[in-house]
Structure 1
Amino acid sequence: MPFFRGMRPRGTDRERGTSAIEFSIIAPVFLLLIFTIIQAGLYFHARNTAQSAAREGVSYLRLAGTNADPESFRSAAETLSTGYAEKLGRLNDVEAYGTIDVSTGRVSMIVIGTVVLPLGGNVEVQQSSTATLEQFRGDLRGSP
């Protein structure tokens, strides 16, 4: 049956505006999902930054074993880790704490910082890394 000017098919009056209502229900859920994904990505990026900075600091601290005063390396390694984390970005108020245990031959570095998330709030990120202290030991066998 052809439609004449001014005539609409049956049932369209009842469905008028349903797409606007559907959009108003789905849009907030969809936007919340998108912002949650963005926040999770930023958090994991900050966590990865802290982990990389801790590894850099431990890599530097491992060299302390060949020095007569291994504790002098600690402050330099903490500065190195802090600078590395700030250069990579997304971390604020970065602090690094290094430890050298000569008796067990282990070094560790803890990096702590905060990340600002788009939906509000600061989240603290803390990562650590541990490694073996490099120490040179001469040949203990008698010479041939």
Structure 2
Amino acid sequence: MKDQASRHWRRLRERLRNQGDRDRGSGSVELAVLATVVLFLVFAAIQIGLYFHARSVARSAATQGVEAGRQLGSGPGDGVAQAEALLAKYGSVRGASVSADGSGAEQIRITVRGTVATLVPGLELDVVQSAEAPVERWVEAQ
């Protein structure tokens, strides 16, 4: 009985030793797969940051344009020029175009359109932000 138990333990040890040989190199494969996933997550986080930064810059440019164009004596052209100046300063929105479509005698609307810099070739993320406000004007006292 004692011989049988010792043979059983020897066989078990041998099996465990041989199993270690079959698993050689699996750590490298696991690391390669894990590194790919981690890199994807890092690039995704950077891309999301770039998108929200460009969106914020476009929104700020539209707001600055509206503030410049709504002042007494100014017009939509002044608002477009102010928005373009802010976009040129920051440069986060590529191929930016600014328009004052939808503006009238009592309301000014500035729209900024462009694309975001991307880490993935062929991926295009568009940004469209607009702002509007009433135009300042003098009103006769009654």
Q: TM-score, normalised by structure 1?
A: 0.76
Deviations 1:2-55 (A, max 9, x none): xxxxxxx94643432221121122111111111111111101111111000000
Q: Deviations over 1:34-81 (max 9, x none)?
A: 111111110111111100000000001111xx33xx6xx222221210
| Residue number in structure 2 paired with 1:17 | 25
1:100 to 89, 103, 109: 103
Partner SS for 1:13: helix
How large is the Cα RMSD of the aligned pairs?
1.9
Partner SS state of residue 118, structure 1: coil
In structure 2, the gaps of 5 or more residues are 1-15
Is 1:43 the equivalent of 2:51? yes
Q: Which residue of 2 aligns with 1:27?
A: 35
| Corresponding residue for residue 126 of structure 2 | 124
Rg larger for: 2
Unaligned runs of 5+ in 1: 1-8
Provide the rounded CA distance (Å) in 1 between the counterparts of 2:69 and 2:79: 6
- Distance in structure 2 (CA, Å) of the matches to 1:55 and 1:129: 6
The higher-RCO structure (CA 8 Å, 6+ apart) is 1
Specify which structure has the higher proportion of helix.
Answer: 2
**4+ aligned runs moved over 3 Å, structure 1:** 9-12
Q: TM-score, normalised by structure 2?
A: 0.77
**What does residue range 37-116 of structure 1 map to in structure 2 within 5 Å?**
37-63=45-71, 66-67=72-73, 73-98=75-100, 99-102=102-105, 105-116=106-117
Counterpart of 2:97, as a letter, is: E
